[in-house]
Structure 1
Amino acid sequence: MTTMNDDAMNDGAMNDGPMKGGAALARPPAHVEAARWAISLVFLLNGAGIGLWAAHVPLVQARTGISTGTLGFLLLTIAGGAIAAMPMSGWLSGRWGTRAVVLAAGWMFSLMTAVLMNIGDATALFAAAFVFGASNGLLDVSMNTNASEVETARGIPTMSSFHGFYSLGGLIGAAVGGIVIGAGFGDGRGALAAGVVFAVAIALCARFILAVPPASHGSHFAIPRGPALFLGLLALLCFAVEGALVDWSALLLAERTGAEPASAALGYSAFSVTMAACRFAGDRLVLRFGAVPVMTAGGIGICAGLLLAVTSTHFLLSALGFALIGLAAANVVPLIFSAAARVPGMSAGGGLAAVATLGYAGLLLAPPIIGSIAAHSNIAVALGVLSLAGIVVALNARVVKR
């Protein structure tokens, strides 16, 4: 077996079926394997761009002279651009094919990575931030859709490894950003060089990216409903957990364990590293145990990790809780995205666009909601409430099985 059609895949490893248990699998064709590594590189570059931006945020704020409150609106503008563009990505992929959209969005993202970190005017910065977010939204949906096409062509669970490359890229981008800034190139020259490298890398792998004719059936642009809505709400909960940890994990460790700021930042690092590592093992876990058990275990782990993190007053135990969340959540979103590409009545791009848009809404909504709850109680209670998200995911794990 070298390829697999949609029906066979829906009955196979992607949905908890006969591929689990270590069954022997034939090697996919060479061009499909090349396509796998090509789109993996795109995932890595996308994550690296986001990590590079994260490292430059304080410098951009200082260069433009914007306040912390204005910086918050700038970050919101980036997220707003992504959410606005995601539904369009599904439509464009349905019209031109995912390969064309991946390449166009990838080059646009490379350009905006360089531009965003070289702007000194606050007004221009907001315009660039919106376009940067839009390019990221277009790329996010199109590369995930192309990844689902590669997964279908391989006939083997692969989505988790793609997201693993994204996580790895984020870590690399943040590390490179720190090195660039330390070397004195944080004035935008380092970001400009990175943008050029990104664009060249995408050009070099362009011919290997899988080209699948645009779907002639299914909705490419639609308001989420039915299975897409349900998958989107689960994605929203998972992204909400991640968004809350970005903004509030360090504060939790400082308040609950008395950790110094430098040590408190390690909580989110523990989450990020274990998530990246587990994503590279995720495809084999799905192949061995099936999608539904992996999804169920992920939900339980999210709940247990959050409860451990918020109830412990010992730094190492709380950090272990964050690491457990990373392990548990690592493969939940890839499974949701993989299922979104197979929603009946929708093209792969349309389903992914609908689910990803709702998921990103979780990143936007969770931090302020957690902050509001914390203002009326404390941060431990606020993050503890999020443990319910893990329970919801575990109880509805079968949604990834069509």
Structure 2
Amino acid sequence: MISNLKHRFFLSLFFFMSGLSFSTWASRIPTIKTIFGFNEAELGSMLLALPIGSLLGLPISGWLVSKYNSRVPLTVGYGLNAFALALIGFAHNTFTLVAAVVIFAFTTRIFNISVNTQAITLQKRFDKKIMGSFHGYWSMGGIGGILISTLLIGLNVSIQVHFVVVAIVMLIITLYSYQFLLKGDRSETGNKLNLKKPDPYIAYLGLVVFLCAICEGGMFDWSGIYFQEIIKVKVFTYGYLVFMTFMAASRFLSDLIVARFGMPRSYLMSAAFIVSGISLAIIFPYFWTAMIGFSLVGFGTAAIIPMSYALAGASKKYSAGMAISIIATYSITGMLLGPPLIGYLAHAFNLRVSFVIFAICGILLVPITQMFFKHQRLSDQTT
């Protein structure tokens, strides 16, 4: 019998490799921009392929998790994601690039829903909170991907070789780790989506995740461009690296922070970090102020997703897999709007002005999270 600690280790490994896969792609966006000669608006339009692919994967991922044990779509989706990553490196025109990115995003959504379903199921077997640490490993994988990208860019290694090597490592880990994933986590109830009666509990959480996704998606896709074009740094991965580093630190600390201050205050702290950090980077567009600003944004955004997923898993109306799938719809919508919106605003005005969107999202987090917890208290009183 496989121990819970071993389950946790290999599930953490999948989170880690998921972050590495995504950051491998995201850290090379400036390279892709240069290869294809995109301007900001054209890059923003190309980046629409990512959330569109994810949206296509949402109904399928929810159906797969409700029909099978989550380790099946997790493994298949992750293996296909490695293949899609390699395809991006070999795209030779805009059409093939967009097609490859859509497949990459589609498969990312399949295994993301599955891996979070596994995490919520495993959380129930532990007395202490562990959700934040899983997402912390995702961020650690992101840091690893950025460091590898920074090294390979410095060595002038082609994007084709880079992506193929990462894809091969992903496939090897997937094939070996499958046996250590949780079995029998399919829920028999709460798998049907009721569109006629939206659940306020899930809707509030969805709005919170939506705002966070705009910040995360925008920072993932545009932090390298910001350092390349505004800060004028040759090694453009610095901004993305510091953002991901502090995101990882925050996620590993988030379980302790939530236990100490509670979720309502933790959400408020996250909002404060986002607003102050992005304001610093915009008002003072210099290397160290931007580094500090991006680190604060990373620290602020990090805990929002794991906290919201944990709350979604406690839904009284939906199973954990279906609740996460619904929440992810809001997240992908944020991803859909965020990066392209930054691109269009940057093209119309400038990149510094476009980053104000992140501060607005941070401010809006305050009233929406307060409304959620008010609804939660009233709901608990009536049951």
TM-score range, shorter chain: 0.7 to 0.9
Establish whether residue 361 from structure 1 lines up as the match of residue 337 from structure 2.
Answer: no
Establish whether residue 206 from structure 1 lines up as the match of residue 151 from structure 2.
Answer: no
Structure-2 change in CA distance of 1:199 and 1:345 (3 Å): same
Establish whether residue 76 from structure 1 lines up as the match of residue 48 from structure 2.
Answer: yes
The more displaced of 382-391 and 39-48 is 382-391
Structure-2 change in CA distance of 1:128 and 1:228 (3 Å): same
Task: Report the equivalent of 1:113.
Answer: 85
Task: Report the equivalent of 2:380.
Answer: none
Q: Contact 1:244–1:370 (CA<8 Å) still a contact in 2?
A: yes
Structure-2 change in CA distance of 1:347 and 1:373 (3 Å): same
Partner amino acid for 1:245?
Answer: M
Task: Report the equivalent of 2:381.
Answer: none
Give the 3-state SS of the residue equivalent to 2:187 in structure 1: coil
Q: Contact 2:278–2:356 (CA<8 Å) still a contact in 1?
A: yes
Task: Report the equivalent of 2:324.
Answer: 352
What percent identity do the matched residue pairs reach? 26
Structure-2 change in CA distance of 1:58 and 1:306 (3 Å): closer
Structure-2 change in CA distance of 1:312 and 1:263 (3 Å): farther
Task: After TM superposition, give the deviation of residue 334 of structure 1 in Å.
Answer: 1.0
Task: Report the equivalent of 1:228.
Answer: 202
The more displaced of 144-153 and 367-376 is 367-376
Q: Contact 1:53–1:117 (CA<8 Å) still a contact in 2?
A: no
Establish whether residue 88 from structure 1 lines up as the match of residue 88 from structure 2.
Answer: no
C-alpha RMSD of the superposition:
3.2
Query: Residues 7-42 of structure 1, C-alpha deviation per residue, up to 9 Å, x if partnerless?
Result: xxxxxxxxxxxxxxxxxxxxxx97211111111111
Measure, in 2, the Cα distance between the counterparts of 1:231 and 1:143. 19
Measure, in 1, the Cα distance between the counterparts of 2:169 and 2:233. 34
The more displaced of 381-390 and 197-206 is 381-390
Task: After TM superposition, give the deviation of residue 123 of structure 1 in Å.
Answer: 4.0
Task: Report the equivalent of 1:130.
Answer: 102
The more displaced of 310-319 and 29-38 is 310-319
Task: After TM superposition, give the deviation of residue 214 of structure 1 in Å.
Answer: 1.2
User: Which residue of 345, 352, 364 corresponds with 1:392?
Assistant: 364
Measure, in 2, the Cα distance between the counterparts of 1:189 and 1:287. 44
Q: Contact 2:69–2:185 (CA<8 Å) still a contact in 1?
A: yes
Structure-2 change in CA distance of 1:195 and 1:220 (3 Å): farther
Task: After TM superposition, give the deviation of residue 311 of structure 1 in Å.
Answer: 3.3
Establish whether residue 277 from structure 1 lines up as the match of residue 249 from structure 2.
Answer: yes
Q: Contact 1:250–1:264 (CA<8 Å) still a contact in 2?
A: yes
The more displaced of 380-389 and 33-42 is 380-389
Structure-2 change in CA distance of 1:176 and 1:265 (3 Å): closer
User: Which residue of 203, 213, 219 corresponds with 1:245?
Assistant: 219
Query: Residues 261-304 of structure 1, C-alpha deviation per residue, up to 9 Å, x if partnerless?
Result: 33776444332221112211212222333222222211222222
Q: Contact 1:291–1:335 (CA<8 Å) still a contact in 2?
A: yes
Measure, in 1, the Cα distance between the counterparts of 2:228 and 2:85. 33
Task: After TM superposition, give the deviation of residue 86 of structure 1 in Å.
Answer: 1.9
Q: Contact 2:44–2:342 (CA<8 Å) still a contact in 1?
A: no
Count of aligned residue pairs for this structure pair: 371
Task: After TM superposition, give the deviation of residue 161 of structure 1 in Å.
Answer: 1.2
Measure, in 2, the Cα distance between the counterparts of 1:260 and 1:180. 20
Task: Report the equivalent of 1:287.
Answer: 259
Partner amino acid for 1:273?
Answer: T
Partner amino acid for 2:102?
Answer: F
Partner amino acid for 1:96?
Answer: Y
Partner amino acid for 2:209?
Answer: A
Give the 3-state SS of the residue equivalent to 1:262 in structure 2: coil
Give the 3-state SS of the residue equivalent to 2:188 in structure 1: coil
Structure-2 change in CA distance of 1:388 and 1:178 (3 Å): closer
TM-score normalised by L of structure 2: 0.84
Task: After TM superposition, give the deviation of residue 314 of structure 1 in Å.
Answer: 5.7
Alignment of 1:316-335 (within 5 A): 316-335=288-307
Q: Contact 2:15–2:115 (CA<8 Å) still a contact in 1?
A: yes
Alignment of 1:16-55 (within 5 A): 31-55=3-27
Measure, in 2, the Cα distance between the counterparts of 1:196 and 1:105. 15
Q: Contact 2:270–2:301 (CA<8 Å) still a contact in 1?
A: yes
Give the 3-state SS of the residue equivalent to 1:394 in structure 2: helix
Query: Residues 283-335 of structure 1, C-alpha deviation per residue, up to 9 Å, x if partnerless?
Result: 22223332222222112222222333333466533432222121122111110
Structure-2 change in CA distance of 1:221 and 1:197 (3 Å): farther
Structure-2 change in CA distance of 1:158 and 1:184 (3 Å): same
- Stretches of structure 2 that go unaligned for 5 or more consecutive residues are 378-383
Query: Residues 125-166 of structure 1, C-alpha deviation per residue, up to 9 Å, x if partnerless?
Result: 433332221101111111111111111221321111111111
The more displaced of 245-254 and 361-370 is 245-254
Structure-2 change in CA distance of 1:349 and 1:185 (3 Å): same
Task: After TM superposition, give the deviation of residue 180 of structure 1 in Å.
Answer: 4.3
Q: Contact 2:84–2:103 (CA<8 Å) still a contact in 1?
A: yes
Partner amino acid for 2:89?
Answer: M
Task: Report the equivalent of 1:25.
Answer: none
Q: Contact 2:44–2:343 (CA<8 Å) still a contact in 1?
A: no
Measure, in 2, the Cα distance between the counterparts of 1:154 and 1:210. 14
Partner amino acid for 2:81?
Answer: F
Give the 3-state SS of the residue equivalent to 1:153 in structure 2: coil
